[in-house]
Amino acid sequence: MDNVLKEITPKSVDYSQWYTDVIRKADMVDYAPVKGFMVIKPYGYRIWEFIQAAMDQLFRETGHENAYFPLLIPENLLLKEAEHVEGFSAEVAWVTQGGSEPLAERLAVRPTSETIIGAMYSKWIQSYRDLPVLMNQWANVVRWEKATRPFLRTTEFLWQEGHTVHRTQAEAEFETRQQLEIYRRVIEGQLAIPVIAGRKSAGERFAGAVETFTLEALMGDGRALQIATSHFLGQNFSQAFEIQFLDEDGTLKYGWTTSWGSSTRMIGGLIMVHGDDKGLRIPPRVAPVQAVIVPIPRGAEAEQVMEYARGLRDALQAKGVRVRLDDRAEFTPGYKYNDWEMRGVPLRIEVGPKDLANQAMVLARRDTGEKESVRREGFEHVVLQRLDDIQNVLFSQALEHQKTHTVQVENYRQTEEYGYRGFFEGDWCGRETCADLLKAETGMTIRCLPLDRQPLGVGCVVCGEPSQERMLFARAY
């Protein structure tokens, strides 16, 4: 047991190394030959597939369809929306040669797809009858990052990006908020990560957007993670790309557009919100393996124990539980316990000769470590109930962590006594000079202007001048 645990650095010793140890030991990713790129292995990718499925269902229920747009974007398109290209210029990877021939025009490897999609929408939209256009794509993007960490910030990552065009401003604004709510439902309901919804300040807004809405989550080390965003683009991109339609009154008008996205960064958030010194703790709804059966075959009854374990597996599979029977003969039960705990499997089922004789089993929970003996008859319903319990407990634990690490301050210097760790709330005058000073002196940024909170009128936490907004600020990944 000790040898297994020593391979994971304790969170309290080095949180960053703990994170790296966990994702490598759990066999979620490996480092690719190109710096900043990662290989997502099956155990990590399965979690992404569950996230995809949950989101895709909600996207379709709200009328969105999936499509796919090119990976490469001509430079002339990227330059059409000036603010947008300025925001991404430092991160763009360029293709300058095709085969042995230099290209007449550079091609950008998409950092995001507003420009290429905008160019296509301008061809497809002619009349108000063509609206709304509600499309989403599941794809990869490339942003040339200087400092990378698997799942959290990599040069290439997987994501979905939705792009819509609407007849009116009100419809586009509704779309922006609707998609933010879909993200919240998935992140809280499936990943058990509590989030705070808010608007981005002007300095933190998506390049080219009129308004950016965000969901911010608090990680186990007290840093924030922007986990999903939804952008109201107004008519900035429709004017740049001439996305126009003939309205019912016979006048030519520009469409109102939105874009919204989330990525494999959510998996990094899941690891840091729920993980402990033993490794992962994966919420059951996105767990590749929800329950693992570890048989303890001994003596003359060894084969009967294995047969009993196989029967338990088959019964759980029939109820839709993602269950694994660990029948590896080369490892001891103790090794298997540690291995599956490290991988974050929500529920472990132990069966030995005594359990066989009593027609029972032992259930061990990954979230609390609690064990209980359960009778064979009707055990499937107990397993399903425990999985629901674990899902709820993980969310409750994360929410309690968020609440106890959210501090109200009247002066930004108060954050020093907390080691700049946690969410901090305070009033803000609305001036970017104060946001810049906050970042320069503390390393914290305005994560959002929470949608459900108003300024208290106690003055800006930086300059003391009358406040315009209530802000949430933190150090972030």
Pick the CATH number of 406-474 from 3.30.110.30, 1.10.357.10, 3.40.50.970, 1.20.1540.10: 3.30.110.30
Long-range contacts of 241-245 (CB under 8 A, 24+ apart): 241/80, 241/81, 241/115, 241/118, 241/119, 241/121, 241/122, 242/122, 243/118, 243/121, 243/122, 243/125, 243/165, 244/122, 244/125, 245/125, 245/126, 245/127, 245/128, 245/130, 245/131, 245/167
**Residue ranges of domains in the chain:** 2-274, 289-386, 406-474
For range 337-363, the mean pLDDT: 97
Quote the CA–CA distance of 29 and 329 in Å, as a whole number. Answer: 26
User: How many other C-beta atoms can be found within 10 angstroms of the C-beta atom of residue 307?
Assistant: 13
Question: CA 273 to CA 399: how far, in whole Å?
Answer: 10
* Residue 248 and residue 130 in contact, taking contact as beta carbons nearer than 8 Å: no
DSSP state letter for 204: G
Average pLDDT over residues 171-182: 98
Residue 1 confidence (pLDDT): 35
- pLDDT for the residue numbered 409: 97
Q: Encoding tokens for residue 165?
A: 């065009």
> Given this model, what pLDDT does residue 6 score?
58
Is residue 87 over pLDDT 80?
no
Q: What is the mean pLDDT of the chain?
A: 96
| 167: pLDDT strictly greater than 90 | yes
User: Which H/E stretch holds residue 477?
Assistant: none
Please report the DSSP string for 90-148 in residue order: GG-EEEEEETTEEEEEEEEEPS--HHHHHHHHHHH--BGGG--EEEEEEEEEE---SS-
From CA 236, how far away is CA 168, in angstroms rounded? 14
Single-letter amino acid, residue 44? G
Burial class (CB in 10 A: 0-12, 13-18, 19+), 344: buried
Mean pLDDT of 184-197: 98
Please give the distance of CA 137 from its chain centroid, rounded to a whole number: 17
The confidence score (pLDDT) of residue 176 equals: 98
Q: In the predicted model, is pLDDT for residue 82 greater than 90?
A: no
Report the first-to-last Cα separation within the chain, whole angstroms: 33
- Over residues 378-408, the pLDDT tens digits come to 999 999 999 999 999 999 999 999 999 999 9
Give the three-class secondary structure for 38: strand
Q: Give 415's DSSP letter.
A: G
The tens digit of pLDDT for each residue in 361-374 reads: 999 999 999 999 99
Number of H helices, E strands in the chain: 14, 23
pLDDT for residue 345 is more than 60: yes
Percentage of the chain with pLDDT > 90? 93
Could you give phi then psi for residue 200, rounded to 5 degrees? -80, 145
How far apart are the C-alpha atoms of 188 and 273, rounded to whole Å? Answer: 12
Q: Answer whether residue 2 shows pLDDT above 60.
A: no
| Helices 42-61 and 169-189: angle between axes, nearest 10 degrees | 140
Predicted TM-score (pTM) of the model is: 0.94
> Is the pLDDT reported for residue 5 higher than 60?
no
| 2-274 matches 406-474 in fold | no
Give the pLDDT mean for 411-433: 97
Domain 289-386, second-level architecture: 3-Layer(aba) Sandwich (3.40)
The pLDDT value given to residue 370: 97
Q: Residues with Cβ < 8 Å from 108, sequence gap 6 or more?
A: 72, 73, 74, 75, 78, 92, 93, 94, 95
Give the architecture-level CATH label for domain 2-274: 2-Layer Sandwich (3.30)
pLDDT tens, 317-331? 999 999 999 999 999
